[in-house]
A and B are shown apart, each in its own frame.
Chain A
């Protein structure tokens, strides 16, 4: 039993899902997908289907999954 004299840290840890945002260098069209091993920020990937320019990973971040209300 602990004495409630100094409070305690918030035990509700946020569960984050890691996403990778890909963006065409030219048309800036962003695509969001789940992170895969080997993804790095500013890594050049395939060619853009619309304008044939390079697609680059612009951001990698963790986001909390919001539970859908029924």
Chain B
């Protein structure tokens, strides 16, 4: 066939035969206009089906790893696996917030009940476990539950989109999938770390304060939370953190509330891991003002309220890291920030308080793998 290419102003011909030109140029154009979205939907569905499959694999792997971890040296494996599967389906119903007054107390009550129930059921299921292993089991079950939840939500929207042939729904799901997969990868890495009781990036707060607590007498102040008294530059330093080396965040809100009432400090310093922005360096230390504490908001509320009512300034020191780094093995950059944060604490105390003042220093985070 004699092919002639003529590219002129708005006049593109592929062959000399106008009928064939029409078929080659305009037919696919018309098909794309009419069925383009269907083609795109098919491509997205295909892509999502692979992702859902990958998430299912990860979910099954996390379930199996959890089973292997918790049934180690246990005779009645079948009963344990049955209970584990019911744990994976546990849910928490958030309190109604149509009338927001008092919602924090309700939230506190629900979250405390949830934690207590989980702890007591694990204790019932494995009465001979020591505290460290029981906490490790609890953390590993929570990771497997999160995996199960992420998988089920993604699968739900994928199936609804596919069933209703909803391009917009599928496209939206495809857009957030990279972020969900990042979280799934983070959970995957967290599983190994929590099983071995290794410190995670989030443990940097308890590690910094824990080092100051060494060789001082520790006292229980709230559930899974301890405090110790020390002397820093002639000031009474009251050091608060979750009780390690088990994987717990404790109840810093209750602890700070009680200590503020009891000690009437002149300053509150909070140290925590903070999510870094892209472009920022992991392990970078930053100072600021306000309650440096994440979570659902109950502890933050209690600390802010106690500090405001007693007119106590709240200083924050944060150690930057990504979400993945916060829940997987602590990296060298994060671990090596301990000494620089100690220098900042000393400087703040010297500059902002007078001798004989009282200062509360709180190390916020999951204290897994860290002894105080």
Contact = CB atoms under 8 A, between A and B. Distances in A.
Contacts of B174: 2-3, 5-6
Interface residues of A, number: 23
Contacts of B331: 16, 61-63
Interface in B161-210: 174-175, 178-179, 181-182, 185, 196-199, 203, 207, 210
Given A8-B178, A42-B371, A62 B332 contact: yes
Interface in B29-52: 40, 43-44, 46-47
Select the residue from A6, A16, A40 with max chain B CB neighbours within 10 A.
Answer: A40
Interface string B218-242: 0000000000000000000000000
Contacts of B369: 39-41, 60
Given A8-B178, A60-B198, A3 B245 contact: no
Interface of A: 1-3, 5-9, 13, 16, 18, 35, 37, 39-43, 59-63
A42 B372 contact: yes
A19 B331 CA distance: 10
Contact of A9 (B178, B214, B329): B178
Interface residues of B, number: 36
A6 B175 contact: yes
B335 A59 contact: yes
B360 interface: no
Interface of B: 40, 43-44, 46-47, 174-175, 178-179, 181-182, 185, 196-199, 203, 207, 210-211, 214, 244-245, 328-332, 334-336, 338, 369-372
A59 B46 CA distance: 46
Given A7-B178, A40-B369, 7 more contacts: A2-B47, A35-B198, A41-B245, A42-B370, A43-B371, A61-B331, A62-B332
Contacts of A42: 210-211, 214, 370-372
A1 B370 contact: no
Contacts of B371: 40-43
Nearest to B197: A40
Contacts of B185: 9, 13
Nearest to A14: B331
A13 B372 CA distance: 32
Contacts of B198: 18, 35, 39, 60
A41 B330 CA distance: 11
A8 B50 CA distance: 14
B178 A6 contact: yes
